[in-house]
Amino acid sequence: MRIAFDARPLIGPRTGVGVWLEGVLRGLAAGTDWHFVLCLPRRVVELGVGDLGGRVSVLAPPAPLPGTLWLHTLAGPALAGRADVFVGSLGVRPRRLPIPDVLMVHDVTPRTRPQAHTFANRLCFNAYLEESLASAGTVVCLSEATRAAVARIQPGAARRAHVIGAGVDPFFSPAAEGEDGAEARLRFAGGRPYLVQLGTLEPRKGIATLLAAHALVLARDPDAPDLVLAGGRGWGGRWLASALARHPAPGRVHCPGYVSRDDARALLRHAELVVLVSEEEGFGLPLAEALACGAACVASDAPALVEVSAGAARHVARGDAAVLAVALAAALEPEAQRSLRASARRRGAEMGWAGPLAAWRALLEDAARGQSAAAQLRMPGDAPDRH
């Protein structure tokens, strides 16, 4: 079988959707003999999956095109005869598509929180969301929280949607016995204990609230841990500069930028707390990875984060720095940290790729069988129905 993916999330440094897509791609490649077509609006030298060799081909136009223009003009028709199923990895699908498709909806935050996205992102997603939900052969949501958000936009699509979460790569695991984290503390926090937020630094991640809460924690206890904000700079950098300028101890806040997988794992393993206080998420992969590393976690009460943690993290109301500061101080108590880390290990052990990949394999096989059944109903030589 040949599965095509909108592979734009594989371009550039891996963030949430790219990590998800690579996990699905590698898992299906390991468990099947399928071939994969990566659909791109331009040729890209390195996508990070070159080791899959002949199992992967790239379909791109001869000249680069803007992503939305490419998707709705060339991408769909070019798949005729090249793939059996198309996966719309970014929640939108080509208007002209001659094969069955699966629409993957990670979140709908460009619609629900437009102020937290660029104009281009809002335009390219929102203009085609309802149309894509209505016309997709199969809809998949990354979480029940995402399905609930879809239900507020198009109830019919939500009723027929499947929910398949993301798995966590086994690379993210608790630290080995005797690994004390001194190197991570030295590299990222000047040798001090630290709290860490991992993910792209953009408005909807609640980072301004986290900075304000960290300032309150330090005011009450000057020996409290530093704060590490690990992630690439998202759009709208002025809000971050303003939030950092308001912090009374800027030397206690560290912004190393986008970090490698090795560094991300080290940061998660050795943080006093991992903090994720987003206003809204479709899943919250950094929280899942932190739990898999056995980290003590504090997260907002965004529904997807509550869903992912399944009781293994402490949750606080979104947008309230004072409440967050109290929760951070309480979670830093030794007994609370021990309890949270034990809960994280239990929850993290449940978050592998086996279940999601089995669901994806069955769903894609069903989609392809639907196409085969339709083809059998149109046997060669059959006269078209003219009535």
Helical segments of the chain, H only: 16-31, 67-70, 109-112, 119-126, 129-135, 144-153, 155-160, 182-189, 207-220, 237-246, 261-270, 285-292, 303-309, 321-331, 334-348, 354-377
Residue 189 has pLDDT above 90, yes or no: yes
Residues 332 and 160: their CA atoms lie apart, in Å, by 43
Q: What is the mean pLDDT of residues 151-165?
A: 96
Burial (CB < 10 A; 0-12, 13-18, 19+), residue 260, is: exposed
- Average per-residue pLDDT for the chain: 91
Could you write out the DSSP letters of every residue in 139-181?
EEESSHHHHHHHHHH-HHHHHH-EE------TTS-PPPTT---
* Cα first-last separation, the chain: 35
Residues 253 and 189: their CA atoms lie apart, in Å, by 8
Domain pair 2-167+354-371 / 182-348, same fold: yes
Helical segments of 176-260, H only: 182-189, 207-220, 237-246
* Confidence at residue 308, expressed as pLDDT on a 0 to 100 scale: 97
pLDDT digits (tens, 9 = 90+) for 64-111: 999 989 999 999 999 999 999 999 999 999 999 999 999 999 998 877
Residue 384 has pLDDT above 50, yes or no: no
* Confidence at residue 109, expressed as pLDDT on a 0 to 100 scale: 80
Q: What is the mean pLDDT of residues 175-183?
A: 92
pLDDT digits (tens, 9 = 90+) for 259-281: 999 999 999 999 999 999 999 99
Phi, psi of 275, rounded to the nearest 5 degrees = -120, 130
For the chain, the structural domain boundaries read 2-167+354-371, 182-348
**Is the CATH number 3.10.450.50 carried by domain 2-167+354-371?**
no
Residues 81 and 338: their CA atoms lie apart, in Å, by 56
CATH of domain 182-348: 3.40.50.2000
Tokens 């059959």 sit at which residue?
382
- Secondary structure class of 298 (helix, strand, coil): strand
pLDDT digits (tens, 9 = 90+) for 218-232: 999 999 999 999 998
194 forms beta bridges with 226
Helices and strands, counts by H and E, the chain: 16, 13
Phi, psi of 208, rounded to the nearest 5 degrees = -60, -40
* Confidence at residue 116, expressed as pLDDT on a 0 to 100 scale: 65
- Amino acid letter at 222? P
